[in-house]
Amino acid sequence: MQLGLIVLALYLLMLPVTGMVPVLRELTVGRYPDLGEFAQHLFMSANMLGALLCVPLAGLLSDLWQRRRPIIAGAFAMNALSLFMLLQDWSYPVYLAWRFVEGCAHITALSLLMTLAADHARRRGSGAVMGLVGAAISLGVASGAPLGGWLGNTDAERVLQWGTGLMLLLTPLSALALRDLPVGRSHGGLGQLLRALPANRPLLLPYAFAFVDRLTVGFIVSTLSLYLSQVIGLDAGRIGLTMALFLIPFALLTFPAGLLSKRWNPLLMMLLGSAAYGLTLAAVGLVPGASIPGLMFAGGVTAALMYAPSLVLVAELSRPEHKALAMSGFNFAGSLGFVLGPLTGGSLVSLFGSYTPAFVIVGGLEVLCALVFLPLALRRRP
């Protein structure tokens, strides 16, 4: 019952933030007609900056207090308030400030829900639990954008209105229905807690992959979209279908991949999945347009094989007294990668004057990361 509530909350949490993607232009230049391109991009950046700055603080506070539920409920309430405030008339800087607050609230709820699931994984097994967590998040991402496009087809603000309602629903649900599990040991105070996470060096491994993996996602939603439009010549509808070929198998296979990590070495699974995913992404820039849909489907399959084991490794490698901080570190690394993904893609395309080297280099980062850690995975094999 508890795990089902956590999974449902994670899925619903992802809908408003991804639902805004199809209506970003309407929410920015549609409300502020004089905005330039850079100012429009700040709408996305403000949210990610809030996430980057807030996620370590949320994990630290949760581990110090040794509570998850009250902070999750407060984050849902703040998320509802910030989405509601985005509906009001503000100057653009104030509008961006509320977007910053929304990023803080979203990442706090996301990280601590994932942490609460990892707490339950101690009793149920990391593979199945973290596979469900990954599936809920990826399904939310996969369905949030089309849902946002449908809701915002005639009025973009409907996405914000529905998002506010969802967060208002989740606030009392999380406060009343979620249950904290006892940590079982003391964290030893703030100083010891701050020293514990850096001392747990094995966590750097899933953090490194979270950074590179999310960098490729940022690359896909920006550079790949532009490539499909400007070079391949696809319209918006066909670009959406192409993205769906990646997102749907990724969402559906994350849970089975989590179960598989109970039988296989999760580190080796992550490395093999990352290498295959990197080669697939590199190939997208080399093949004719007709071959891209098949590669996108293959990319979604291999992405599931690497994402679920990375969550399992964080759950298994983190100690109970700093589990929230460990999960926050994972989300921080991922958020930083996502922010840098579009910048990396844009810089590489500008540098080489072509999209092909950008795909090869970014895909090659995944392969390189897998090769660097392969000896460690082979030593850990049972």
Contacts with 267 (C-beta within 8 Å, 6 or more apart), sequence order: 205, 309, 313, 373, 376, 377, 380
DSSP class per residue in 195-248? HHHHH-GGGHHHHHHHHHHHHHHHHIIIIIHHHIIIII---HHHHHHHHHHHHH
Q: Are residues 376 and 264 in the same domain?
A: yes
Q: What is the pLDDT of residue 298?
A: 94
Q: What is the pLDDT of residue 183?
A: 61
In this structure, is residue 193 part of a structural domain? no
Contacts with 160 (C-beta within 8 Å, 6 or more apart), sequence order: 16, 20, 27, 83, 84, 86, 87
Q: What is the pLDDT of residue 382?
A: 44
The token pair at 72 is 């999750």
Largest CA distance in the chain: 61
Q: What is the pLDDT of residue 283?
A: 95
- Mark which of 182, 214, 235 sits at the end of a domain: 182
CATH number for the domain spanning 99: value is 1.20.1250.20
Q: Are residues 122 and 152 in the same domain?
A: yes
Cα angle value 86/89/93 (rounded, 5°): 70
Q: Are residues 167 and 217 in the same domain?
A: no
CA distance 22 to 144: 10
How many structural domains does the chain have? 2
Q: Are residues 239 and 356 in the same domain?
A: yes
Q: Are residues 21 and 64 in the same domain?
A: yes
Q: Are residues 83 and 140 in the same domain?
A: yes
The DSSP code for 232 is I
In this structure, is residue 213 part of a structural domain? yes
Q: What is the pLDDT of residue 347?
A: 87
In this structure, is residue 315 part of a structural domain? yes
Q: Are residues 266 and 372 in the same domain?
A: yes
- Mark which of 132, 148, 182 sits at the end of a domain: 182
Q: What is the pLDDT along the chain (382 residues), one digit of tens a residue?
A: 788 899 999 999 999 988 887 787 788 888 998 877 667 767 877 888 898 889 888 888 887 888 889 999 999 999 999 999 999 999 999 999 999 999 999 999 999 998 888 887 766 566 778 888 888 988 888 888 788 888 887 888 999 999 999 999 999 999 999 888 776 555 445 555 555 556 567 788 888 888 999 899 888 877 887 788 788 887 766 777 788 888 889 888 888 888 887 778 888 888 889 999 999 999 999 999 889 999 999 999 999 888 888 888 888 887 776 777 788 888 888 888 888 888 888 889 888 988 899 999 999 999 999 898 887 766 654 4
In this structure, is residue 187 part of a structural domain? no
- Mark which of 135, 155, 182 sits at the end of a domain: 182
Range of the domain at 78: 1-182
Q: Are residues 27 and 136 in the same domain?
A: yes
pTM, full prediction: 0.82
Q: What is the pLDDT of residue 245?
A: 87
Mean pLDDT of the chain: 85
In this structure, is residue 375 part of a structural domain? yes
Q: Are residues 11 and 155 in the same domain?
A: yes
Q: What is the pLDDT of residue 195?
A: 59
Q: Are residues 48 and 4 in the same domain?
A: yes
Q: Are residues 139 and 218 in the same domain?
A: no
